[in-house]
């Protein structure tokens, strides 16, 4: 009998202390919020164009425009999309500050968080500080997402898209892409 057959498989609880699992959970939740923020920024861009075009005026040329815009939304960075939105819509400085802070925190989370804390993760105190920071990042991302969500809904309604259509768009957006 091999050694692997004698030894039961280890669970995450055996590999990591509970506070480290909490840290990884907090990171995953914050990363999901960052992607949700990207989706809302894309929605604002799409509904802004729909506002100016009007859904009752869509022809083949406009379908191509929307397809190109959807491609840009799916391929561009969050920073690029937010800069484009700010060029098109006049925001209150407070809202700009909230969105800029969220963008900065999203970039930090994605590109630098674990590298900055590379030794902190090895101590309970360090992991607690990291988890606390992740909760602060999540709060900033959630606030900005709420603002963009409200803006996309407002643009959608002003574009003449009725509640049933909005629900259909949301349902289509919730489908898993395979």
- The HSE-up count of residue 100 (CA atoms within 13 Å, CB side) is 9
Tell me whether residue 157 is in a domain: yes
Between 104 and 82, the higher pLDDT residue? 104
- The CA distances from residue 168 to 117, 144, 174, in Å, are 43, 24, 10
Helix (H, G, I), strand (E, B) or coil at 118: coil
Tell me whether residue 38 is in a domain: yes
Tell me whether residue 53 is in a domain: no
Residues 45-60 have pLDDT tens digits of 777 776 666 556 666 7
The number of folded domains in the chain is 1
Helix (H, G, I), strand (E, B) or coil at 78: helix
Whether the CA torsion 131, 137, 138, 140 is positive or negative: it is: positive
Tell me whether residue 141 is in a domain: yes
Tell me whether residue 51 is in a domain: no
**Domain around 138:** 18-42+59-169
Tell me whether residue 47 is in a domain: no
Which residue's entry shows tokens 């990291």?
130
Contact 23, 134 (CB under 8 A): yes
- The HSE-up count of residue 132 (CA atoms within 13 Å, CB side) is 7
Question: Rounded CA gap, 125 and 19, in Å?
Answer: 10
Which residue's entry shows tokens 């902190």?
120
Tell me whether residue 54 is in a domain: no
State yes or no: pLDDT of 4 exceeds 60.
no
- For the entire predicted model, the pTM comes to 0.75
Instruction: Tell me the mean pLDDT in the region 113-139.
Output: 97
Tell me whether residue 86 is in a domain: yes
What percent of the chain is predicted at pLDDT more than 70?
Answer: 69
């Amino acid at each position: 009998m091999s050694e692997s057959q004698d030894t039961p498989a280890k669970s995450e609880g055996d590999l990591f202390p509970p506070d480290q699992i909490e840290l990884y959970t907090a990171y995953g939740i914050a990363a999901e919020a960052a992607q949700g923020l990207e989706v809302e920024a894309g929605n604002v861009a799409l509904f802004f164009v729909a506002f100016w075009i009007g859904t009752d005026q869509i022809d083949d040329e406009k379908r191509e425009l929307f397809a190109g815009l959807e491609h840009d939304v799916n391929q561009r960075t969050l920073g690029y999309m937010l800069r484009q939105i700010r060029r098109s819509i006049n925001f209150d400085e407070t809202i700009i500050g909230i969105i800029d802070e969220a963008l900065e925190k999203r970039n930090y989370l994605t590109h630098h968080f674990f590298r900055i804390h590379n030794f902190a993760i090895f101590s309970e105190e360090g992991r607690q500080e990291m988890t606390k920071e992740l909760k602060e990042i999540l709060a900033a991302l959630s606030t900005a997402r709420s603002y963009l969500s409200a803006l996309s809904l407002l643009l959608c309604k002003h574009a003449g898209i009725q509640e049933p259509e909005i629900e259909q768009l949301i349902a289509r957006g919730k489908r898993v892409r395979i």
